[in-house]
């Protein structure tokens, strides 16, 4: 008897999930009321006259039988103590199984959520390590010396970018290049060297740059073939 209270509190909470065959919480209560009354009256029925059999009790207990079909057994269940006893055992088994299933589903959801969280954490970290910036100088006018062309919009680069892929102006030759990032007042923030390679008619210069601790703002990017004159381009570091 005591276990019934627990079972149906559980049903009440999970009404939407547990009533696939049309058992509303109200139906459950009605069945319980009938059963409860039956039990209180105590019908021993030792010869099991008119009993539906374990299979039917099991199907009602596990909500496997549509309520319309179960209806005709309710009177009997309400007046047969052995059936009630069997029924409550089946019901307890069913609820335990459901609880296990729900817990298993909850555990899978938790695992999936953790994996998703971890993946998104990795995605957030990744750009800091591998983000590549492309600085395209191919269509820029070629300024000489440290003078920049004020009409050109600044190149944009993120402070998170560690790999700078510089496309040198068309016609640039392969070989060793120097790259400098200087403030507008001429102070050097970073100085790197690299080797430019010609691929598909584009002279690429790949350099590793760390400006993560540099303040965001406008700088000057200076590039030269080692030993030659600097070319300057406005650079916006974000
Ligand atoms: Zn019976």
* Residue appearing with tokens 């402070």: 159
Cα–ligand 1 centroid distance for 84 (angstroms): 7
Q: How far is the CA of 233 from the centre of ligand 1 (A)?
A: 93
Ligand 1 center–CA 54 separation, angstroms: 9
Q: Cβ-count burial of 134 within 10 angstroms (0-12 exposed, 13-18 middle, 19+ buried)?
A: middle
CA of 83 to the centre of ligand 1 (A): 4
79 Cα–ligand 1 center, Å: 7
Q: Please write the tens of the pLDDT for every residue from 128-149.
A: 556 888 899 988 876 665 565 6
11 CA to middle of ligand 1, Å? 24
Domains by residue range for the chain, with CATH: 5-105 (no CATH), 132-237 (2.60.40)
In the prediction, which pLDDT does 130 show?
Answer: 62
* pTM for the full predicted model: 0.46
| Rounded CA separation 229/238 (Å) | 27
Average pLDDT over residues 92-117: 89
In angstroms, what is the span from residue 87 Cα to ligand 1's centroid?
A: 10
pLDDT digits (tens, 9 = 90+) for 182-237: 998 889 989 999 999 998 888 999 999 888 888 899 999 999 999 899 988 889 99
Name residue, tokens 């070319």: 231
């Amino acid at each position: 008897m005591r276990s019934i209270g627990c079972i149906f509190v559980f049903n009440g909470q999970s009404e939407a999930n547990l009533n696939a065959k049309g058992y509303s919480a109200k139906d459950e209560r009605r069945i319980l009321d009938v059963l409860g009354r039956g039990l209180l009256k105590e019908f021993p029925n030792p010869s099991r006259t008119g009993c539906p059999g374990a299979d039917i009790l099991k199907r009602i207990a596990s909500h496997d039988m549509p309520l319309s079909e179960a209806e005709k057994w309710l009177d009997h269940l309400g007046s047969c103590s052995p059936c009630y006893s069997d029924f409550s055992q089946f019901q307890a088994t069913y609820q335990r199984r459901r609880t296990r299933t729900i817990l298993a589903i909850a555990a899978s959801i938790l695992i999936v959520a953790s994996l998703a969280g971890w993946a998104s954490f990795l995605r957030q970290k990744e750009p800091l390590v591998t983000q590549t910036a492309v600085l395209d100088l191919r269509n820029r006018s070629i300024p000489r010396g440290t003078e920049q062309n004020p009409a050109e919009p600044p190149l944009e680069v993120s402070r998170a970018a560690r790999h700078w892929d510089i496309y040198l102006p068309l016609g640039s030759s392969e070989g060793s290049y120097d790259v400098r990032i200087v403030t507008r007042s001429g102070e050097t923030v970073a100085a790197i060297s690299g080797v430019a390679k010609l691929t598909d008619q584009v002279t690429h210069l790949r350099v590793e740059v760390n400006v993560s601790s540099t303040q965001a703002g406008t700088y000057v990017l200076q590039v030269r073939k080692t030993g030659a004159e600097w070319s300057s381009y406005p650079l916006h570091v974000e």
